[in-house]
Amino acid sequence: MTAAAKSPAKSPAKSSAKTLATYAVIAGAGLLGPLVLPAFTTQFAFLWVMVTFALTWDVLGGQMGYNSFGNVVYFGIGMYVCAVVQVAPFTDLAEYNSAYGTQDIGLTSLQYYAGLGAGCLVAALVAVVVAFVLGSGILGLRGHYFAICTLGLGIAAGEIAAGIDIIGAGSGMVTPLYPGEIGTRNRFFYYLCFALAVVTFLALRRLYAGRFGLAINAIRDDEDKAEAMGLHTTRYKTIAWCIAAFFLAISGGLVGNIVGFIDPTDVAFAGATFGVWMVLMAILGGKGTMWGPVLGAAIFHVTQELFWIYLLGWQRVALGVLIVLIVVFFPQGIIGWLRERYPHRFGRRIEAASGEAEEPAQ
Amino acid sequence: MSNLQLLFDAPVLLVQLIADGILVGSIFALAAYGMALVWGVMNVINIAQGEFVMIGGYVTYTLYSLGVHPLLGVPAAAIVLFVLGWAIYRLVIFRVVDRDLFVSLLATFGLSILIQQLLNQIFTSDVQSADSGLDTLFLFDGMVTVPHIKVVAFVLTLAIAGCLVVFLKSSRLGQAIRATAQNARAARILGIDTDRVYAATYALNAALCGAAGALVVMTWVIQPFQGLAYTVRSFMIVVVAGLGNLPGVIVSAFGLGAAENLAGFILGAEFQIAFVFGLLVVVLLVRSHRLKRQRRYLK
């Protein structure tokens, strides 16, 4: 673990070899995971979804300093739009939903894959448009006003979705059946989720390396100064939100198909689970860092699965405790902490360290 | 939308809806005032506000199921929440008071998740309410009905607000709270134990929420996951009224109550919560737009 912290100081050749090795290990694990442990394929798929969650939350929350509690909106939008695009061309949507999933539309393989692809694409586009419209308004708000506004947004979206009859209202919507056996289906979606997480990571890394990354970091450090220097801050903020929305919507489309059933408040606009986890994972790993969200998502997902197994019923309470503990005692996250290379353990002396942790995190 | 037509045909319904809204709004005012207090004095936005309201409701509900009259739940809930608020301050909040705003925001957010899940675990996610056993007042030949309990809630709210003003103006602790709100550092130099003041403020806020929750369980229903709506309502009311403006808080709470009731009637009850959250977005946008215009005119 200390090696990761030291790597920036080492010679570029050595560190790039190390990075390559890291990538190779992760790619290998990602590609072989479901083949070695086929029973856990869905859990592995969710691991990559979590990575996508944490990475996209970190665009605003970490790199730009805008805490958003409402990113789950784009996840939900993506899920619904994707499902609608998959179903609507082949049958009457209202009728399909009023049958509560008992109507089998019997898609052929071609129809299914084409529908899924088109669904994810349309979902991403719709989410980007929504993010653009919402963002140009809401992102003019600063600090805590923005945070609480997004908190309201997430809940409102769920409530509204639960009131619209054509997408199944409160009783939810069923996604089309996969034309194949269950094992193939799980593996198929696993690789899609894996690919999405990888693409998200690479795309964000590319973006952070350029002008865009500098701009949003400038907004985080001092928005007024950034504006005075001639940055169109609201434009950059909106673009950042659109990017997050794009990847989140695709993950929403995939998760909708993995779960198979879209409940407006428990699956799609699940503020109390996915919405909270996004924030928690990014902070746990170290917000404002590239690897922090990935690490945070991995650790969180494993912990969460253990919670689910060993704490029957109390897992969500334990999660609440975890959030408070992490935010209060460990706000700089694992990577942030490693960067500072303080050998002390969690607790007492964090007070002095946390102030400095904000700056070097990039 | 057909209900809108109904409203024009029978204007007396409008009276009913608005009266009801104002009476319910008085309960929002309590929680909102607590939020304004904590925000103004400690510069912490307490997202766990609504969860305190729910705890207050569950305290009253528990007493009620043990056979105690729910009106006695108001002081009981206030006392329980006062102690709980003090404990939460000592455990969590004091660590985040001086840190940057995001930390305190996230910490109280975590608290709210924790309390939600605890309540859900203990009381299940069923909707609960307590019957106060009071009569209903009929006006306009029974066209307008006003349950007595709502009037009681209204009067109680005003009484508590009045007590608060007197407390903040004239008691020693109240003065210390106001001094800390103005300038914490100067207050510390003058010998005020600001840590204790913060603890008292936070506990007082929790007590106000507890009282509000006791009234909610009698007039409406409670459910572990409904807390967030109260947080958002409080926040909205404080934003509209401005910090440190008690009459403004009460008036905008009445306004919110009435608007929400009307919207719930016109759009359908399933959209009432969505309306509250939608209104929050609108309020914040209007506020930011106004600030922007002010900036343009000033410079």
Report yes or no: A332 at the B interface, CB cutoff 8 Å.
no
d(CA A145, CA A149): 6
What pLDDT score does B1 carry? 58
Task: Answer whether A320 sits within 8 Å of B271, measured CB to CB.
Answer: no
- How far away is chain B from the Cα of A282, in angstroms, using its nearest Cα? 12
Taken in order A342, A344, A345, A351, is the CA torsion positive or negative?
negative
What is the model's pLDDT at position A348?
Answer: 39
Other C-beta atoms lying within 10 Å of the C-beta of residue A324: 23
pLDDT confidence of residue A125:
94
Provide Rg for chain B, Cα atoms. 20
pLDDT value of position A121: 92
What values do phi and psi take at B136, rounded to 5?
A: -120, 140
Residues of B in contact with A354 (CB under 8 A): 99, 103
**Chain B residue closest in CA terms to A162:** B270
Residue A67 with chain B: CB contacts under 8 Å: 102, 105-106
pLDDT recorded at residue A358: 43
Alpha carbons within 13 angstroms on the beta-carbon side of residue A214 total 5
Contact B114 A324 (CB under 8 A): yes
pLDDT value, residue A8: 43
Q: Where are the alpha helices (DSSP H) in A59-108?
A: 72-87, 93-98
* pLDDT at residue B52, rounded to an integer: 93
Contacts of B99 in chain A (CB under 8 A): 331, 354
How is residue A89 written in tokens?
A: 């061309």
Domain ranges of chain A: 40-270
Q: What is the pLDDT of residues B121-157, one digit of tens each?
A: 888 878 887 777 676 766 666 667 777 888 888 888 8
A324·B107 Cβ contact <8 A: yes
Mean predicted lDDT score pLDDT of chain B: 84
Digit-coded pLDDT (tens) for B223-276: 888 888 888 889 889 888 877 778 888 888 888 888 888 888 888 777 777 888
Q: What DSSP designation does B224 have?
A: G
A139 and A237 Cβ atoms separated by less than 8 Å: yes
Question: Contact A75/A249 with Cβ under 8 angstroms?
Answer: yes
**Residues of B whose CB is below 8 A from A153:** 277, 281
**What ipTM describes this predicted complex?**
0.78
CB-nearest partner of B92 from A69, A151, A328: A328
The residues near B191 (Cβ < 8 Å, ≥ 6 apart) are none
Task: Find which of A130, A144, A300 to mutate to test the B interface (most B CBs within 10 Å of its CB).
Answer: A144
Q: List the single best residue of A67, A142, A304, A324 to mutate versus B (max B Cβ within 10 A).
A: A324
| Beta strand segments in A23-136, E | none
Put simply, the answer to whether A69 touches B109 (Cβ < 8 Å) is yes
Nearest CA in chain B to A312: B121
**What pLDDT, on the 0 to 100 scale, is given for residue B280?**
85
Please give the interface size between A and B, counted as residue pairs whose CB atoms are below 8 Å apart. Answer: 131
Q: What pLDDT, on a 0 to 100 scale, did the predictor assign at position A4?
A: 41
Q: Are B200 and B96 in contact (CB under 8 A)?
A: no
Which pLDDT score, from 0 to 100, does residue B226 have?
84
Q: Which residue has the tokens 């928690």?
A: A280
What is the token pair recorded at B94?
């004091």
Per CB-CB distance under 8 Å, the chain A contacts of B274 are: 156, 159-160, 163
**3-state SS assignment for residue A262:** strand
Residues in chain A predicted with pLDDT less than 70, given as ranges, are: 1-15, 98-106, 341-362
B39-95 pLDDT, tens per residue? 888 888 888 999 999 999 999 999 988 888 888 888 999 999 999 999 999 998 888
Q: What is the pLDDT of residue B5?
A: 72
pLDDT for residue B199 is more than 80: yes
The one-character DSSP state at A91 is: S
How distant is the Cα of B291 from the closest Cα of chain A, in angstroms? 10
Contact B100, B197 (CB under 8 A): no
Q: Count of domains in chain B?
A: 1
Q: What is the pLDDT of residue A15?
A: 59
Question: Regarding predicted confidence, which is higher, B267 or B207?
Answer: B207
Q: Which residue of B has its CA nearest to A275?
A: B113
Q: What is the pLDDT of residue A13?
A: 54
Tokens of A359: 């700056």
Q: Establish if A23 touches chain B: CB-CB under 8 angstroms.
A: no
pLDDT at A340: 72
